[in-house]
Chain A
């Protein structure tokens, strides 16, 4: 019997798991994919929003501001990449100036500190690639950028180190009320628990509606993105937003913590909850909208495009709390932008709800810090020399685009909740994340995974499930021909 079963190992679920790990409780995270950070959490803008955007008084506003204040310290404690680059909202039309002022006022109401209105000249001095016809802007100094995988994985690993169990490749199929709480039915058997946290992203409404008569409705809202080569690093310093106005909601152009540039997203409502395919129209829109705020966007330097789904709730609000008519079943629904920024606060809030329900006591032994994977490229020459002398695997470069060594990949595989697929390795250490997109390192990472996990090459997947990388061995055919 678990005290809490958390459904979904995305950033909300894992932030909640880590917060709950501070209490004396038996906790299990159930995830339908093979790894943490496989849904909405892996494909988004990777922005820490300052909190000026949401309507004052909403949960979205409060948790965004609170989350964005918590992230810098968490990044130090849990060792994940975060940078406080600041956000810049660009007003491209005189007519929209009142909207800029309204945004500023809203931000003040939401309690965002360090907001300032900036002139066209200020903007062009700070951001030379912004279009010359920019009218004015607002700078939010607390805005930042984060590695979305890094933060999600850090929450999960720290939770695991503090005793939280994880069950992957396990899809929830239903619930039954029991005397003590709930039976969570999965495709891998039943799990008994006192409480449930529903953090299933675009599936939260499906799960919620199984237990509650007050229905919830989530629309998967697709966002297409372009990721640009590191050669474009420095193209944008701030996260550049277009002020929503006359021409609708724009897209953002931002640096990433790893030195790439990200451009996107679109906002296209779809029916398919797994529809993470980009479309020609979506990508076209990204290109066009980028041109609304920046000039000569280096879109020839695209290294990949991708799409993610936001879990858009009809009321455009985070739905956090006990589901009506389902005691002990807590929703964590409608977590769309600024969900990543808010995630530490979401986790904190959900954990408090569960704590109060179960009257959980604080654990004395909670370990609040976690060491990330060493990145030799960030060490000094002497430190790196010493690291390689101690462990030569750090001297063998596997991914040449990102300069990732075998030592880092081994760490990614063998740490708690280690990587089991190519994408798992990629999200942890960036092997395959560079300009050749795994063309060179893919076969080598497959070999390392096969060797370290003790499984045949044919079973290595891109991202779990049926995503096998190779479909046979040449010898099979030779044997067949020879009649062996």
Chain B
């Protein structure tokens, strides 16, 4: 079997940044496997702007942002196999993949970086009753059809879910001549970025109905209409609040799920909260030598943070290849009150960088709250926040010094202090 020091699965923003960082950290033998015929991943269909404000202090489109990293990977001459699907990763890091040129092949990897991204929640898993006609698309599929293939999936549109892709597609479909009647959101708040609500809905007079869901889909061949209803605090439709919309298309933007079928096959421990691998400060999963970054790890709000995280995974995979397995005492990071999860979930103080960024999401909308980092009852940091929403990723930093100074700490908790 052929050997390869570092195999990276996925050539989207995470895989590209990880590859470049690993090479810069001294890994010569890298192979990136991408299932599409081009590098760049989902960014290629995100032709709107707003990418790269943090990384490049510029407002780029998705393809432009991707191109910066593709360029870098090309300059570093990192080999990439395109149109190649990985079928399996074993716990021993044997990667089985297939394409039309090499056929079916296996590689023994020294280290693996998981960068497969995420997928959209489909209609089936949302339990929406009704018929199953044509015209029901996930927002991302519609985005691909419109932006990459040049087709209009529908003309009279209702959107369920106010995730960022749904918001972006409300604007995009409008610009393409479709009529977006309404965006319904099950939760009492939007799951998308504030700026997208303003730029994609408000600017186009598209109403956003919070605490609403689709309770029926009509149409035997093509969608002919949907029924919305308001939901109560338990997210159950309230009888009598039904409203009918004549439409030919229903777009769904109801959440993203990290794509971890390969990770599970490799025996990687998956968090039931993020649906992504449980990782440590090196972004190493429960399987030694297998690292994860980007949306396969947890769904991000901005690609800039994906790139940052992926660079860390690349550097850490390089370190693993150079130093071998190093597992020592770890400190657990605990998601406390108001916090859904933290990435990473544990930290080895001896391995961590001088400063470590911990990312997390909150479980509701909070105003005038504070993020509190504490250990053994001692408050390490308190950061005041005017507003916290589930749609935006938050971060705090941990310093290696303070962790080394306190070998007795077993847990560090990140929680919210909410004004009464």
Contacts and interface: CB of A to CB of B under 8 A. Distances in A.
B85 A282 contact: no
Interface stretch (A87-95, A119-127, A382-390): A382-390
Interface stretch (A2-10, A96-104, A208-216, A473-481): A473-481
Nearest to A392: B100
Contact of B127 (A302, A435, A467): A302
B144 A475 contact: no
Contact of A388 (B35, B98, B145, B215): B98
Interface of chain A, main secondary structure: mixed
B122 A279 contact: no
Contacts of A477: 152, 176-177
B129 A466 contact: no
B249 to A, nearest CB: 8
Interface stretch (B14-22, B133-141, B320-328): B133-141
Nearest to B146: A474
Given A436-B119, A457-B151, A470-B152, A463 B129 contact: no
B120 interface: yes
Interface in A382-403: 384-385, 388-389, 392-393, 395-397, 400-401, 403
Q: Which of A396, A403, A475 has the most CB of B within 10 A?
A: A396
A437 interface: yes
B153 A470 contact: yes
A305 B124 contact: yes
B127 A305 contact: yes
Contact of B35 (A274, A276, A397, A442): A397
Nearest to B98: A395
Interface residues of B, number: 53
B99 interface: yes
Interface of chain B, main secondary structure: mixed
Contacts of B221: 461-463, 465-467
Interface in B128-166: 129-135, 137-138, 140-141, 144-146, 149-155
A277 B129 contact: yes
A283 interface: yes
B400 interface: no
Given A436-B119, A470-B152, A303 B131 contact: no
Contacts of B123: 304, 437
Interface string A266-293: 0000000010111110110000000000
Interface residues of A, number: 56
A385 B96 CA distance: 12
A443 interface: yes
Contact of A472 (B132, B133, B151): B151
A303 B125 contact: yes
Q: Which of A227, A385, A395, A457 has the most CB of B within 10 A?
A: A395
Contacts of B103: 385, 388-389, 392, 395
A440 interface: yes
Contacts of A231: 264
A202 to B, nearest CB: 14
B370 to A, nearest CB: 33
A434 B12 CA distance: 23
Given A277-B131, A461-B134, A471 B152 contact: yes
Nearest to A442: B141
A397 B129 contact: no
Contacts of A467: 133-134, 221-222
Nearest to B102: A395
Shortest 7 CB-CB contacts between residues of A and residues of B: A304-B124, A462-B134, A392-B100, A397-B85, A466-B221, A472-B152, A437-B122
Given A274-B220, A439-B137, 10 more contacts: A389-B103, A435-B119, A438-B122, A442-B141, A447-B149, A469-B134, A471-B155, A473-B150, A477-B152, A477-B176
Interface of B: 35, 83, 85, 87, 98-104, 119-120, 122-125, 127, 129-135, 137-138, 140-141, 144-146, 149-155, 176-177, 215-218, 220-222, 237, 248-249, 261, 264
21 contacts: A278-B130, A283-B129, A302-B124, A302-B125, A303-B124, A304-B124, A381-B104, A384-B98, A388-B103, A395-B100, A397-B35, A400-B35, A440-B119, A467-B222, A469-B134, A470-B153, A471-B152, A471-B153, A471-B249, A473-B151, A477-B152
